[in-house]
Amino acid sequence: MLGLFAGVVFTLIGAAFVVGLVVADARGSRLRVVAKPAASMCFLAAAVAVGALDSAYGAWVFVALVLSAIGDVALLGSATPAFLLGLGSFLLGHVAYTVGFAVRGLDVGWVFAAAALLAVPLMVVLRWLLPHAESMRGPVIAYAAVISAMVAAAAGTFGFDVDARILIGALAFYVSDLAVARDRFVTPGPTNRLWGLPLYYAAQFLLAWSAAT
């Protein structure tokens, strides 16, 4: 019970940092370099508090969260190497989530149905992004494929063990990445992060809580 209470506290603190991050980003304040890592540390702390490290599924979720936090810090920079580091870290994070979902259990029918449904937005997103991606076309294709696989796996786990936090978290992560892609490749601006950042952190906290024991 104490762990769950601590998880709630870290979640609320994280939400406050996310609000601060969005405000700092909109104002162009350098406080974003403090608020973003702090918000990410909160989803790590929440995962530990609710017992993520006490199960195989939770351990994989924690690995994914750590990789995501590394990606968050990398994306504070705007240079191409920093972006590629962040992209690679998040890609590995999605792999870790996918393994975790498989460990928890998969309904194969749900996986294939979700993969078929996701094929359409995958093609639409790639047609939208690739003309703007230039030298990063390969990494963009790889990332889009891996995050789609992660969502399909999340659907499979939802079909096996109905836990809405997993499916909603995975879908929220997927949609939040559209804001990152739009900001990087299509139309840069704070509006992308205004909705993308809260959705991303909501996804991470939902997935962290899905590991509660």
- Say whether pLDDT at 2 is over 90: no
Whether the model clears a pTM of 0.85, i.e. scores above it, the answer is yes
Q: Which residues contact 18 (CB under 8 A, 6 or more apart)?
A: 35, 39, 197, 198, 201
Q: What is the pLDDT of residues 148-205, one digit of tens each?
A: 999 999 999 999 999 999 999 999 999 999 999 999 999 999 999 999 999 999 999 9
Q: Which residues contact 161 (CB under 8 A, 6 or more apart)?
A: 104, 105
Residue type, 106: L
Q: What is the pLDDT of residues 123-136, one digit of tens each?
A: 999 999 999 999 99
- Say whether pLDDT at 73 is over 80: yes
CA distances from 149 to 57, 119, 131 (A): 17, 10, 23
Q: What is the 3-state secondary structure (H, E, C) of 4-21?
A: HHHHHHHHHHHHHHHHHH
Going by C-alpha positions, the residue among 92, 76, 75, 96 that lies closest to residue 84 is 75
Q: What is the model's pLDDT at position 78?
A: 83
CA distance 93 to 68: 6
Q: Are 211 and 47 in contact (CB under 8 A)?
A: yes
Q: What is the model's pLDDT at position 160?
A: 97
Span 114-119, average pLDDT:
98
Q: For tokens 């294709």, what's the residue?
A: 141
Domains of the chain by residue range: 55-209
Q: What is the model's pLDDT at position 178?
A: 97
Residue type, 203: A
Residue type, 69: A
